[in-house]
Amino acid sequence: MQHTVTVAHTLLKAVGRAISLRPALAALLLAPVAALQAATNGLQLPYVQGSFKPEWDSLKAYQCPAWFRDAKFGIWAHWGPQCQPEAGDWYGRNLYIQGHAQNLIHNQRYGHPSVFGFKDVINLWKAERFDPAHLVNLYKKSGAKYFVAMAVHHDNFDLWNSKYQPWNAVNLGPKQDLLGKWAAAARAEGLRFGVSVHARSAWTWYEVAQMSDKTGPKAGIPYDGKLTKADGKGLWWEGYDPQELYCQNHRPSPYADNRKLQQKNPGDRPDPGFCRKYYDRVQDLVEQHHPDLVYFDDFKLPLYGLDQLYGLSLVAGMYNQSMARHSGSNEAVVNTKTLDEQERKCLVKDLEVCVERDIQTLPWQVDACIGHWHYLNGAQYRSAEKVVRALVDVVSKNGNLLLNIPVRGDGTIDEKEVKILNDIGAWFKVNGEAIYGTRPWIVFGEGPSVHDTTPDTDKGGLPLFRREPYGAEDIRFTTKGEALYAIMLAWPKAGKARIQALAPGAPGVQGEVVQVSMLGLPGALAFTRTPAGLEVDLPANKPCFFAYTLKIQGLKKK
């Protein structure tokens, strides 16, 4: 049931908080107060009625569902029309920046962007070898417990049968409801299904499409970002309005091709029509496909710097819809970024390719990729070993890892990616007991890596993939039931493991160790407990190729 509500908002929190955030967010938070007041006055939005209201205080009643806390590992398909050229990330923007590598590729392959722009790349994309059942089966065998499909990227092209965006994958390109097929495949494999939404950025992301070459024979000839529906007469896109894709009926930043300068010198702010259309599209997406997880590639909430009601209403509606579909239990997860401690009670914090430095009280997620986010032909990938070690560190701190496996334009993945998935899956077959359904211990780990002094990334955390190699002293801990798991991130050369945190009288530990075993191998291991720690004689053979788990029984937290 839909319910329309008018919420009187307080203004955004103190401006001083903005200075520590990334420039794009700071620019929004520092917007004129009058503009923010004007945006909030009288705004009415429909949302699914229920226990949750579109207010922060109401959303604080949220409890992260057990399925997410137990899953620990998900796979993401960051796949859309920008994968068609197989030329890497942000192709839909970079093709309009003269001299950029993707602009050069575009001109050589397809022609000048005044004639052949991103709208035309969409027309080339057919996803002719897309087999979601096969792919999701690979993802499940890799150990993933949930799967996330991109619903719409910054390119503003909806990948489902969108009611509010004619530029969608059913009408154009593949002419398939790609999200519907992903959802069916994931659920057939027993995986939780999620979607990611990035389209809030389309307004500024596409401003480069209004530009033109500054030098050369095409200098001054406008790119296709200002074309209208009337311009398509007799062409393949006749009947479609490019402005519904590019959203460029506004004054752009004069520095649209330089992101840092664009953020400091913005053009027109997104208008109410753009915001309401975005809102309606997300509601339509949720109503059609009932995702268990929605990842917003946004700071705090989508459209947060314009009016919080958009995001608050979307979240409240998702939670209420989930409760209605699950007999009163809210099974929904909503991921956003840069959340403070109070906001983390309402949503699940996501970090992009970076990790918390210590155990977090509330569940959280890191999203990462083995290579480029969009498929790049010939890309170098991170190994399964790097991924697993990162996963272990994340899980020891109460987090989940959502890993993107880039998909080719035709809907397939390459042999190197298949091997990485298989290698991760082989590790999980041995060590999954120490990951799934676990909770953090007293400390997340020990060893030199615990004291990593690498500065935080601009995303707000320690780099996920550690540059320095892990050593035999680097150990991470998880718990489940009466068992403590100590996951060694490297194999000790001396054939003996030492866990300093388990020395007699160590803080927070009581009881006696009664048994130590290694996951993947039969029998118990010999051990002694000395003032230096718990010392374990390791077997001659390793049960897997990296990250080895000792299962320790008998100890309890004080």
Short-list 274, 58, 285, 64, CA closest to 158 = 285
264 within a domain of the structure (yes/no)? yes
Instruction: Classify residue 406: in a domain, yes or no.
Output: no
Residue 382 lies in a domain: no
- Measured CA distances, 177 to 119, 159, 289, 412 (Å): 18, 7, 11, 17
* Residue 474 belongs to some domain of the structure: yes
Render 483-542 in DSSP notation, one character per residue.
EEEEEESS--TTSEEEEGGGSTT-TTEEEEEEEEEETTS-SB--EEEETTEEEEEPPSS-
**Residue 239's domain is classified under what CATH number?**
3.20.20.80
pLDDT, tens digit, for every residue of 121-155?
999 999 999 999 999 999 999 999 999 999 999 99
Can you give the pLDDT at residue 458?
Answer: 86
Nearest-angstrom CA–CA distance, 91 and 377:
13
Angle at 198 between CA 195 and CA 204, to 5 degrees: 170
Residue 305 domain-assigned (yes or no): yes
| 265-278 pLDDT tens trace | 999 999 999 999 99
Has residue 427 been placed in a domain? no
Confidence of residue 7 (pLDDT cuts 50, 70, 90): very low
Same structural domain, 461 and 346: no
On whether both 24 and 156 belong to a single domain, the answer is yes
Q: Are residues 330 and 469 in the same domain?
A: no
- Percent of the chain with pLDDT strictly greater than 70: 93
Does residue 287 surpass a pLDDT of 60? yes
Q: What is the tally of structural domains in the chain?
A: 2
- Note the Cα 487 to chain centre separation in Å: 26
Domain assignment of residue 424, yes or no: no
Work out the angle at residue 427's Cα, subtended by the Cα atoms of residues 424 and 431, and round it to the nearest 5 degrees.
135
**The pLDDT of residue 4 is above 70:** no
> What is the C-alpha to C-alpha distance for residues 392 and 369, in angstroms, rounded to an integer?
16
Q: What is the pLDDT of residues 392-414, one digit of tens each?
A: 999 999 999 999 999 999 999 99
Of the three residues 312, 333, 352, the one that is the final residue of a domain is 352
- Kindly state whether residue 213 falls inside one of the protein's structural domains: yes
Taking the C-alpha atoms of residue 62 and residue 348, their distance in angstroms, rounded to an integer, is: 10
Verify that 464 and 333 share a domain, yes or no.
no
The 3-state DSSP class for residue 364 equals strand
- For residues 348 and 461, state if they share a domain: no
Same domain, 345 and 449: no
Tell me which of 320, 352, 384 is where a domain ends.
352
The answer to whether residues 322 and 453 belong to one domain is no
pLDDT at 24 over 90: no
State which of 299, 319, 352 marks the end of a domain. Answer: 352
Structural domain including 107 reads 2-352
Structure tokens belonging to residue 274 = 């753009």
pLDDT class of 459 with cuts at 50, 70, 90: confident
Query: Over 90: is that where the pLDDT of 354 sits?
Result: yes
CATH of the domain at 537: 2.60.40.1180
